[in-house]
């Protein structure tokens, strides 16, 4: 979050600096024709009309002065900023601020979350506390759902040798983390307490509680994440990398252990 704010402030400062520079540059040139559509016409200095001379007062018969004839033309350089230029620059400025705002909003939306959320390493909490929640008093497996990791933590007490996830960093502290997303078409797969597995309500794919494929249209096992245990005993789920494993004839958990839920 701090990184995003810093980038946002830097971007806003850059946009404002560019706007100020552009306005200053255009003012420095002082040519109305630089603005699209600005007229290149000479002006009239209305307050510098030729005043009647003192000599004229002496001559009551002198010709009356026609102010239109006596006016002095003013060049475009003396106009400085015209009203049209002012409004053009105001429109450009507002439009630029809108674009900058829109760009920053898009940037913050796309910016990867570098800590704490899904897509990064998620601290699931003390491993000891988690393990005690995974097995009920009657021995049933009770997967623990970790919302910030979008994953189920399940116990793994067996031997992964010969399984489809042998030698992969998916077991630590006697647990695994399974992604909740069905590998068929992406539905959230709930656990089924009675069968002791995961059963997808969308098209009926079934997995045992280690996430191994059992039946249905799913092309592989449930995907899983790498897990580690910190020196302080915290379980960390690395959701930055999805680990896929193929169907395997060698299963590490029994399924079903009771009636199916779907």
Is 231 within 8 Å of 143 (Cβ atoms)?
Answer: no
Q: Please tell me the distance from the alpha carbon of residue 251 to that of residue 162, in angstroms, as a whole number.
A: 9
Q: Minimal CA–CA distance to 239: which of 123, 161, 125, 129?
A: 123
Q: How far is the CB of 7 from ligand FES (least distance, A)?
A: 37
Residue 212 vs residues 113, 172, 216, 223, 226: alpha-carbon distances, Å: 30, 18, 12, 9, 16
- Residues 136 and 157: their CA atoms lie apart, in Å, by 15
Per CB under 6 A, 56 contacts ligand FES: no
- Binding to ligand FES (CB under 6 A) within 209-238 occurs at 216-218
Query: Of 21-29, 108-116, 142-150, 180-188, which segment contacts ligand FES by CB under 6 A?
Result: 180-188
Closer to ligand FES by Cβ: residue 74 or 187:
187
Q: Give the single-character DSSP code of 139.
A: S
CA–centroid distance for 215 within its chain: 37
121 vs 181, which CB is nearer to ligand FES?
Answer: 181
CB of 206 to ligand FES, least distance (A): 9
Locate all alpha helices (DSSP H) within the chain, ordered by sequence: 2-29, 54-58, 67-70, 83-110, 127-134
Binding segment for ligand FES (CB under 6 A), chosen from 32-40, 69-77, 184-192, 242-250, is 184-192
Report if residue 185 touches ligand FES, rule: CB under 6 A. Answer: yes
CB of 249 to ligand FES, least distance (A): 21
Tell me the number of residues near ligand FES by CB under 6 A. Answer: 13
Q: How far is the CB of 201 from ligand FES (least distance, A)?
A: 8
Q: With H, G, I as helix, E, B as strand and everything else as coil, classify residue 120.
A: strand
> Of the candidates 8, 141, 154, 200, which one interacts with ligand FES according to CB under 6 A?
200
Question: Using CA atoms, how far apart are residues 134 and 157, in angstroms rounded to an integer?
Answer: 12
Q: 35 vs 179, which CB is nearer to ligand FES?
A: 179
User: Among 12, 49, 65, 202, which residue sits at the site for ligand FES (rule: CB under 6 A)?
Assistant: 202
- In the bound state with ligand FES, the residue whose beta carbon lies nearer, of 127 and 206, is 206
d(CA 240, CA 235): 15
**Backbone conformation region of residue 158, classed left if phi is above 0, alpha if psi is from -120 to 50, else beta:** beta
Those residues whose C-beta lies under 8 Å from the C-beta of residue 125, and which sit 6 or more positions away, are: 234, 235
Min CB(87)–ligand FES separation in Å: 57
Segment near ligand FES (CB under 6 A), from 65-73, 79-87, 159-167, 183-191? 183-191
Does residue 182 interact with ligand FES by CB under 6 A?
Answer: yes
Q: For ligand FES, which is the closer residue by CB, 89 or 184?
A: 184
Q: Could you list the residues that contact ligand FES (CB under 6 A)? A: 182, 184-187, 200, 202-205, 216-218
């Amino acid at each position: 979050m701090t990184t995003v704010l810093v980038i946002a402030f830097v971007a806003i400062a850059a946009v404002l600096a560019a706007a100020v520079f552009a306005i200053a540059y255009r003012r420095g040139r002082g040519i109305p024709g630089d603005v699209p559509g600005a007229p290149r016409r000479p002006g009239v200095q209305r307050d510098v009309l030729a005043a009647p001379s003192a000599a004229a007062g002496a001559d009551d018969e002198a010709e009356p002065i026609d102010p239109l004839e006596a006016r002095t033309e003013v060049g475009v350089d003396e106009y400085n900023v015209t009203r049209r230029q002012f409004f053009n620059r105001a429109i450009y400025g507002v439009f630029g601020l809108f674009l900058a705002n829109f760009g920053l909003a898009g940037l913050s939306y796309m910016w990867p979350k570098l800590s704490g959320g899904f897509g990064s390493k998620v601290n699931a909490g003390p491993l000891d506390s988690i393990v005690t929640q995974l097995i009920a008093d009657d021995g049933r497996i009770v997967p623990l759902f970790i919302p910030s990791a979008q994953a189920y933590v399940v116990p793994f007490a067996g031997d992964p040798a010969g399984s489809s996830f042998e030698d992969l960093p998916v077991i630590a502290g006697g647990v695994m983390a399974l992604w909740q997303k069905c590998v068929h078409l992406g539905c959230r797969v709930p656990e089924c307490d009675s069968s002791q597995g995961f059963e997808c309500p969308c098209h009926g794919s079934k997995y045992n509680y280690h996430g191994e494929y059992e039946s249905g249209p799913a092309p592989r096992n449930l995907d899983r994440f790498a897990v580690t245990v910190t020196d302080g005993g915290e379980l960390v789920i690395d959701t930055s990398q999805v680990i896929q494993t193929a169907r395997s004839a060698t299963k590490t958990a029994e399924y079903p252990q009771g009636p199916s839920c779907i």
